Amino acid sequence: MALDISSLDDAMVLAVLGTLARSRIRSGECITEPTAEIVAALSREFAIAPSITPVSPSEFARASLQLLAQDPAMAQNIEALTTGPRPKAFIDPGTVAVVVAAFVALQTEVKITRNTNGQWTFSLRKPTMSDSLLRKVAEMFIVSFKGGQD
């Protein structure tokens, strides 16, 4: 069975992304508090110009799942979550939780570290099948993060 994330309803993509993010957060493998400094460094790394186009939480979650699904093991997890009993939604689409969950998903492809000079650096963990999708998720993250900043 081929995984078709685009056909999943909004509640499902939010619940699945939340479940996957919660698992990674528990493992301690990722940064869970994005900062303006990280966002600025990510903008520079991916050469993303400021955008005023808002992104819906479900669109953001869907793109994040598509990025995660490029990894065969993660695709199996996503498929299991979408074909089994519906996961409990831990993401309220109106909150910062979507941004944090997508930020966690982004870190499956991009390693974020702070060097000895205090600057944030980014490196791809592995070649991705779709650099444009990685860039799209990074841009959605930046737009969504900045949307909550004044």
The pair of three-digit structure tokens given for residue 9, joined into one six-digit string: 């309803």
> Within 13 Å and on the Cβ side, how many CA atoms surround 35?
9
Closest CA to 144 of 29, 28, 17, 20: 17
Write the single-letter amino acid at 17: L
Helix axes 36-45, 131-147, angle to 10 degrees: 150
* Per-residue pLDDT tens listing for the chain (150 residues): 467 899 999 888 888 888 888 877 787 777 777 788 888 888 888 888 766 677 888 888 898 899 888 888 888 888 888 887 766 655 555 545 666 777 777 777 777 777 788 777 777 665 555 677 788 888 888 877 766 454
Q: 45: buried, middle or exposed (CB in 10 Å: 19+, 13-18, 0-12)?
A: middle
